[in-house]
Amino acid sequence: AAPWNDPGAKPLIRFEGVSKRFGDFVAVDQVDLAIHKGEFFSLLGASGCGKTTLLRMLAGFETPTEGRIFIDGVDMSAVPPYERPVNMMFQSYALFPHMTVEANIAFGLKQDRLPQPVITDRTKAVLDLVQMGKFATRKPHQLSGGQRQRVALARALAKEPKVLLLDEPLGALDKKLREATQLELVNIQDRVGVTFVMVTHDQEEAMTMSSRIGVMNSGRIAQVGTPVDIYEYPESRFVADFIGAANMFEASVRQSGTDQVVVNCPELAHDLIIAHNDMLPEGTPVTVMVRPEKVAISRDKPAEGLNWAQGVVADIAYLGDVSIFHVRLESGHRIEALQTNLRHTDERKLTWEDPVYLSWHPANALVLTK
C-alpha cells in the first residue's frame, strides 16, 4: 500500500496548525497536513486561496504566524531556507541568460563547494534525466520554452533535495506542450523518487499528475485525497463544485437506512434513492450531487431501480469525443449529461427540444451535508 494510505506511516512533511496573517488578512488558516516520502502532492485552489503562501512557508521564504512545520521530524521554525532539505523549481526565466545550460546547473553546486568531479557527474546525470544532454553548451535563449523548463527542473534536482517545490511550473507553456510536459514531469519524479509538492490552479493538471491533492479554499484545506477520492467522493459542496462538472440539487431527507437514503427533491418532482452509509435524521437539508458522465440520457423510460427525471433537450455541445447535453426539467432546473460519441450508432440523434429521460444509478450520486 502507498504510505499515504497507511495510517501508521510517518510523513516526511507535517504542517501543524499553520496559519499566516498579513496584517488583518488571513492568507493561510489553521492548516494540518501530512505529505509522505515519494509523493507527488498538489496544492490546488483558486487564485488567492493561499497555496503559494503555504509553499513559501515550507521553503522558509515566509514565517508562519502560528503553528509548526516539520520535515523528516525536524521542526523547521528556526531553520533558514538554504539549510532546509527543500529546493524550489523556479520558472525558466530565472535561468542565468549569459551562462550555458551546464554552467547554469553547476552554479548552485559550486556555491555549495562540492568537488569538481561531483559537480561534473551530477550535471551530466540531471541533464540526461531531463533529456537535455545534447544541449549542455547552449545558452537559454537558444532553447525552446519547453527545453528551458527542463533545464530549470534539472537545476533544481541537481542539489538532490528531499523535497522539490514547484509553483505553477508549467504555467508558461502552451496547452499541447503543457500536457506532454505533465506526463514527463511525473515520469521524472517517479524515477528520482524525490517528493514533489506542486502549486496549481489547474484541476486537470492536478488530477493528471498527483498522487494526492490538497484542495484549498480561503486559506483552509477543504479536502485531501487521491484524484479519484476528490472527484468521486467530494466531502463538501465546495469540492464537488470546484473539481469537474457537477449537477447539484437541494433536497431534504425523507428516510434514512443503513446503506441508502431517500431524499425529496423539489426540482425533480419525485424522490431520489441514493447509496449512503450514514444515518441522517429526517428533514436534514442535503445537496445531491451527480456527475454528468454518470447520467444516462434516453428516449425510453429507464429501468426500475434507477433514479430518473424527465425533460427536454435544451442545449447540445459537441466536443468531438463527447457531447454535453443540457436537459431542461419541468421545474426549469437543468441537468447536464455527458455522452461518449461512439463511431457506429444507428439510433436517431437527439436534437433540441426532444423529450428525454435522464437516469442514474443510486450508487452514482452523492449526498452532501457540508
Q: What span, in angstroms and rounded, lies between the C-alpha atoms of 19 and 11?
A: 20
Residue 167 CB, shortest distance to ligand ATP, in Å, is: 8
Question: All 3 cell numbers of residue 73?
Answer: 521530524
Residue 154 CB, shortest distance to ligand ATP, in Å, is: 25
Q: What span, in angstroms and rounded, lies between the C-alpha atoms of 168 and 170?
A: 6
Binding residue for ligand ATP (CB under 6 A) from 50, 140, 225, 234? 50
Residue 106 CB, shortest distance to ligand ATP, in Å, is: 31
**How many residues comprise the chain?**
370
Contact range with ligand ATP by CB under 6 A, out of 44-52, 89-97, 296-304, 305-313: 44-52
Residue whose C-alpha cell is 515520469: 187
- If the CB atoms of residues 241 and 354 are measured against ligand ATP, the closer one turns out to be 241
53 is an interface residue for ligand ATP by CB under 6 A? yes
Binding residue for ligand ATP (CB under 6 A) from 18, 19, 33, 45? 45
Q: Is 361 helix (H, G, I), strand (E, B) or coil?
A: coil
Residue 20 CB, shortest distance to ligand ATP, in Å, is: 8
Q: What span, in angstroms and rounded, lies between the C-alpha atoms of 275 and 273?
A: 7
What is the phi/psi pair of residue 169, to 5°? -65, -25
Residue whose C-alpha cell is 450508487: 363
Contact range with ligand ATP by CB under 6 A, out of 48-56, 74-82, 228-236, 272-280: 48-56
171 is an interface residue for ligand ATP by CB under 6 A? no
Residue 243 CB, shortest distance to ligand ATP, in Å, is: 16
Q: How many residues bind ligand ATP (CB under 6 A)?
A: 12
**Which is nearest to 204 in space by CA: 167, 253, 242, 232?**
242
Q: What span, in angstroms and rounded, lies between the C-alpha atoms of 295 and 308?
A: 9
Q: List residues near ligand ATP by CB under 6 A.
A: 22, 25, 27, 45, 47-53, 201
